[in-house]
Each structure stands twice: as C-alpha cells, then as structure tokens.
C-alpha cells in the first residue's frame, strides 16, 4: 500500500524525521502538502460551518484545525484518484516494532474493509473480526479520537468525502461519528502507530477554550448524547451485520 504523509511544506524538521523513520524500514512513501489554516487559502474552507461547530464543540475551530481537516480530505481525494488503499500518516507519527508486519497483515484483508485505525484503541469495547498470528483486526464499538495513522480504501474515502465536506467538527471527531457516515471502523490490535504530539499547530489550549452561554451548553450536551447513542447503535449493527 502506498504511504502518504501529511506534512506542512515548511515543517522541515518533521519531514526529516519522517524520512528517517520510513527509510529505516525501506518503505516507499510520498508527502502530501498539508494546508495551513493560519496562512493558506483553500476552497474547502468555504464549507466551514461555524454555527454547527460551535454547537458540537462549544467553541470555534482553530485555524490549524481547519487546515488539518482539509488536509485529510485531500488525502481521501488522493486515495480515490489512485483507486487503491493507502496508508495515511500525520507527520508526528511514531512506529512500533511491529509496523511492517502489521501493515502486511492489514494488506491481506484490506479489500474487505473501508477504514483501519493503526493507533492505540481508547476503549476495549470491540468485536474481533480477523485473527492473525500476531495481530487481530477488530471492529470498534466505541471509536477513539486522533487521526495520526490509518488505512483507508477507495470505498471508505468516497463515503467519508461525500458525507464530510461540511466542516462541523475536528477531523477525528468526524471519523468517530459513524452516525454520519455509517462506515465500519476497524482497528489493528496491537497498534502499530502512535502520535508524538510534537509541537501541534492546532494547539491544545485552543481546544480547551469553551464559549459561555446556557443555550450553547445545552445544545452541546444534547448533540454529544445524540452521537454517543447513535454511534453505538451504528457500530453495533455494523459489528453484527458485516464481517
């Protein structure tokens, strides 16, 4: 599978580290120039729905967050253009010792899935789908956040792109919300990628700021419960219905 690393052209140090890590495993890859929401312009930015984002997160999107979202949309477009599964990595990735072996395991069954999370699970609430010697593929009943590393297929990319061009949440929250896109979210266990969270341009402080107001707080509460319940139902149906 082709490996695509999302990275800002100006992030020379991160790119150098990515090259070092991937070259050490003799893996071919290419950089996808990320969109910097602080300085760049892109037509997808017109799809930012501030009202919906406020209702969902009780805050406005950080500029870096918008750039991150659009960058993943571009990765999905690339997957569709290539018409083949790809590995998507953000440039703050780190590998486990089993990365190459785990990727080969996913490659054997990638034609049967839409999306495979490569990062650690945030919940042990899952159903095993495929068993290998050292790895398993599981269907997440409660998906985690973070979008540092995953495999996506053209089927999954088309649906994610069709349902996700309106920017109403951070990209990892959109992926997590299966109530919207209805895709089965697989994950590899044990994980083969994890995030270093090095010098995020999004900024953790920006994501902790919340707008005041009881109405907005109530909207956020209702929507959060809606997605929690809706996602659980969709994930349970997917776990039972699809292999």
**DSSP secondary structure letters along 58-69:** SSPPPHHHHHHH
Please say whether the beta carbons of 170 and 126 come within 8 A. no
Q: Where are the domains of the chain?
A: 2-241
pLDDT tens figures, 114-130: 999 999 998 888 899 99
- pLDDT of 177 reads 97
pLDDT tens figures, 125-178: 889 999 999 999 999 999 989 899 999 999 999 999 999 999 999 999 999 999
Question: Out of 1.10.287, 3.90.380, 1.10.3470, 3.90.550, which CATH number does the structure's domain 2-241 have?
Answer: 3.90.550
Residue 113 belongs to what H/E stretch? none
State how far the Cα of 88 lies from the Cα of 103, in Å rounded to an integer. Answer: 12
Residue 235 belongs to what H/E stretch? helix 214-241
State how far the Cα of 145 lies from the Cα of 151, in Å rounded to an integer. Answer: 15
What does pTM read for this prediction?
0.93
- In angstroms and rounded to an integer, the radius of gyration of the C-alpha atoms of the chain is 17
């Amino acid at each position: 599978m082709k490996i695509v690393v999302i990275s800002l052209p100006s992030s020379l140090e991160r790119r150098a580290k990515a090259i070092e890590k991937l070259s050490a495993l003799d893996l071919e890859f290419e950089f996808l120039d990320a969109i910097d929401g602080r300085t760049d312009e892109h037509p997808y930015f017109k799809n930012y729905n501030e009202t919906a984002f406020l209702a969902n997160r009780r805050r406005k999107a950080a500029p870096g967050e918008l750039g991150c979202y659009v960058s993943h949309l571009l990765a999905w477009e690339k997957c569709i253009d290539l018409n083949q599964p790809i590995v998507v990595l953000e440039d703050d990735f780190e590998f486990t010792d089993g990365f190459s072996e785990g990727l080969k395991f996913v490659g054997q069954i990638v034609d049967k899935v839409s999306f495979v999370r490569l990062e650690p699970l945030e919940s042990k609430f899952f159903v095993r789908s495929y068993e290998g010697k050292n790895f398993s593929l599981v269907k997440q009943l409660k998906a985690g956040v973070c979008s540092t590393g995953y495999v996506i297929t053209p089927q999954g990319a088309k649906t994610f792109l069709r349902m996700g061009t309106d920017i109403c949440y951070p990209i990892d929250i959109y992926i997590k919300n299966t109530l919207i896109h209805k895709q089965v979210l697989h994950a590899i266990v044990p994980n083969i990628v994890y995030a270093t969270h090095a010098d995020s341009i999004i900024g953790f402080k920006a994501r902790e700021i919340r707008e005041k107001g009881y109405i907005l707080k109530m909207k956020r509460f209702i929507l959060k419960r809606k997605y929690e319940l809706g996602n659980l139902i969709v994930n349970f149906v997917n776990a039972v219905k699809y292999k």
